[in-house]
C-alpha cells in the first residue's frame, strides 16, 4: 500500500489535516487505534478560535458548526462573589464559537466518508520506519494482519502517549514540562447552562468553570486535589461545592441534575522540540499539552495543522520545501505563546498549595488590573480568541 501522507491518529487534528489535504488533491491515509464510535465517545472542550473555524470552512465542514455553534462575544470572570465581563468583539472584532470537540470530530469523519478517503481503524503496534530518510514507511497490525504503507511524509497526530514523538531519538528531542499540584473535576449534566457565556471563577475555595455544550447540556468544573477520584464526589457534593465557588446570583440560578459523565483531569504544560524529524512531523498533543484553562489544546493543534497543511501543499504543487522546512520553527513560535497564556491564566485563577499571603495579594492585584485596565483586557482577548497564524 502507498500514500503520499500517512496520518497517525484519527482525532480532530489528524482528521482536519486529512480533509484539507484531500481537498488539495493530496492522498492521505489516517490510522486510528480505536473504533470510530470510541473516538466519538470522548467528551472534550469545545471553544473554537476563529483560525480553527476558518480551517473548517476551508475543509468544507462548517454547515452544522454554523447552524448549531454558539457565538460568544466575550466571557465572564468571577472574583470574590462578583463578575466582570471581557468583551472579545469590542476589543478585537472577533468572537469565539462554542461547539463541542466531539462534534468537530463527527463532522470531519462524515466528510471523510463522503469523500471516500481511507481511514484504517483498530490498528495496533504502529511502527514508524526510516523517518530520517526520503523513503519512510509505517507498519501496523490490523485484525491479525501485518500491514505496511510506504509514503512521502508522516504526520504524528497520535497524542502524548502515541508512537510518533517516541520515534524521534532522545538525543534529538528536548522536552519541557510543568505539572500542576491540582486537577479539574468535571461533570457533564443534561441541564441548561447557568449563563450564556463561560464563567471563570477565582474563589478562596479554589477555581471553578461554568461551561456548556449546547442549550441543554452543561459542563462544569471545580479544582480538586490530585489524590481525589471521581467516585469520591457524589453529585450532591459536587453541586454544593460549585455553588460555593461562583457568585451567589449564579448559584441561585444554577439548575442541577444527575451527572452523565464525571472525570478528573490533571493539569500539565508540556512542549517537545523539535516538532519535525526528517519526514516525520508532530501535531497537537503529540508535541505539546496545555492546561485546559483558556481552551487552547484543540486550537493549538489546529494551528499546527495549518502550518503543516500549507507546507505540504506548497511542496506538492510548487516543489517548494520552505513550508515544511520551517514547520517546526513556525509552529513552536505560536505554541509557546499559547503555553504562556494558559500558564498565566491558570496562575490567575487557581489556589496553589503553600501560596503565601503575598502571593494571594499579587493574584488579587492581577485580577483587579484585568478588571480595570482596557489594555490588559485587550491583550487577554487577543490571546483568548486566538493569535494570528
Instruction: Point out which residues pair with 94 in neighbouring strands.
Output: none
Sheet arrangement for strand 123-129: 123-129, 137-142, 145-150
221 catalytic residue (yes or no): no
Name residue 141's beta-bridge partners: 124, 146
Known active-site residue 66: no
Which of these is catalytic: 180, 200, 220, 327? 200
Which residue from 150, 48, 26, 11 is spatially nearest to 385, judged by alpha carbons? Answer: 48
In this structure, what are the phi and psi dihedrals at residue 271, rounded to the nearest 5 degrees? -145, 135
Check if the beta carbon of residue 203 is closer than 8 Å to that of residue 245: yes
Among this protein's residues, is 327 annotated catalytic?
no
C-alpha cell at 274: 523539535
CB proximity list for 90: less than 8 A, separation 6 or greater: 73, 74
Sheet of 82-87, strands arranged across: 82-87, 74-79, 199-202, 208-214, 217-224, 174-189, 259-273, 288-289
Task: Please identify which of the residues 137, 288, 292, 350 carries the catalytic annotation.
Answer: 292
Tell me which of 22, 72, 195, 330 is the catalytic residue.
72
What dihedral angle (degrees, nearest 10) is formed by the CA atoms of 178, 303, 386, 344?
Answer: 10
Distance from C-alpha of 220 to C-alpha of 205, rounded to nearest angstrom: 16
Tell me whether residue 296 is one of the annotated catalytic residues: yes
On the question of a cis peptide bond just before residue 274, with omega within 30 degrees of 0, the verdict is: yes
State the cell numbers at 42. 470522548
Q: Tell me, rounded to whole angstroms, the distance of Cα 54 from its chain centroid.
A: 16
Confirm whether 200 is a catalytic residue.
Answer: yes
Q: Please name every residue paired with 142 in a beta bridge, in sequence order, or none if there are none.
A: 123, 145
Active-site option among 99, 109, 220, 384: 384
Rounded CA-CA distance 232/240 in Å is: 14
Query: Three-state DSSP class for 370?
Result: helix
Which listed residue (22, 195, 288, 296) is catalytic?
296
Of 209, 123, 137, residue with least CA distance to 167: 137
| Residues known to be catalytic | 72, 200, 292, 296, 384
Amino acid at each position: 500500500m502507498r500514500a503520499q501522507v500517512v496520518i497517525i491518529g484519527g482525532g480532530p487534528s489528524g482528521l482536519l489535516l486529512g480533509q484539507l489535504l484531500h481537498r488539495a488533491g493530496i492522498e492521505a491515509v489516517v490510522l486510528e487505534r480505536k473504533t470510530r464510535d470510541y473516538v466519538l465517545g470522548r467528551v472534550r472542550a469545545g471553544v473554537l478560535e476563529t483560525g480553527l473555524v476558518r480551517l473548517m470552512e476551508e475543509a468544507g465542514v462548517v454547515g452544522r458548526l454554523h447552524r448549531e455553534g454558539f457565538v460568544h462575544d466575550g466571557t465572564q470572570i468571577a472574583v470574590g462573589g462578583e463578575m466582570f465581563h471581557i468583551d472579545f468583539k469590542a476589543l478585537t472584532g472577533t468572537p469565539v464559537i462554542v461547539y463541542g470537540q466531539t462534534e468537530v470530530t463527527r463532522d470531519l469523519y462524515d466528510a471523510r466518508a463522503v469523500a471516500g478517503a481511507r481511514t484504517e481503524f483498530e490498528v495496533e503496534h504502529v511502527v514508524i520506519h526510516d523517518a530520517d530518510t526520503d523513503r519512510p514507511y509505517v507498519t501496523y497490525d490490523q485484525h491479525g494482519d501485518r500491514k505496511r504503507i510506504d509514503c512521502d511524509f508522516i504526520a504524528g497526530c497520535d497524542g502524548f502517549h502515541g508512537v510518533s514523538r517516541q520515534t524521534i531519538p532522545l538525543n534529538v528531542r528536548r522536552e519541557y514540562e510543568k505539572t500542576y499540584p491540582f486537577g479539574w473535576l468535571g461533570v457533564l449534566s443534561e441541564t441548561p447552562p447557568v449563563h450564556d457565556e463561560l464563567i471563570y471563577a477565582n474563589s478562596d475555595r479554589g477555581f471553578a468553570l461554568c461551561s456548556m455544550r449546547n442549550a441543554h447540556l452543561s459542563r462544569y468544573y471545580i479544582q480538586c486535589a490530585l489524590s481525589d477520584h471521581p467516585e469520591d464526589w457524589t453529585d450532591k457534593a459536587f453541586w454544593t461545592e460549585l455553588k460555593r465557588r461562583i457568585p451567589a446570583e449564579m448559584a441561585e440560578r444554577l439548575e442541577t441534575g444527575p451527572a452523565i459523565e464525571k472525570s478528573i483531569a490533571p493539569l500539565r504544560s508540556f512542549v517537545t522540540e523539535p516538532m519535525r524529524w526528517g519526514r516525520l512531523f508532530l501535531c497537537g498533543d503529540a508535541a505539546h499539552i496545555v492546561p485546559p484553562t483558556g481552551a487552547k489544546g484543540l486550537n493549538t493543534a489546529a494551528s499546527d495543522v495549518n502550518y503543516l497543511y500549507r507546507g505540504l501543499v506548497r511542496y506538492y504543487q510548487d516543489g517548494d520545501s520552505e513550508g515544511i522546512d520551517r514547520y517546526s520553527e513556525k509552529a513552536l513560535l505560536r505554541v509557546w505563546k499559547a503555553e504562556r497564556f494558559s500558564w498565566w491564566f491558570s496562575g490567575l485563577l487557581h489556589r496553589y498549595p503553600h501560596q503565601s499571603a503575598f502571593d494571594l495579594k499579587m493574584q488579587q492585584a492581577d485580577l483587579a488590573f484585568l478588571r480595570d485596565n482596557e489594555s490588559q483586557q485587550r491583550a487577554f482577548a487577543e490571546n483568548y480568541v486566538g493569535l494570528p497564524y
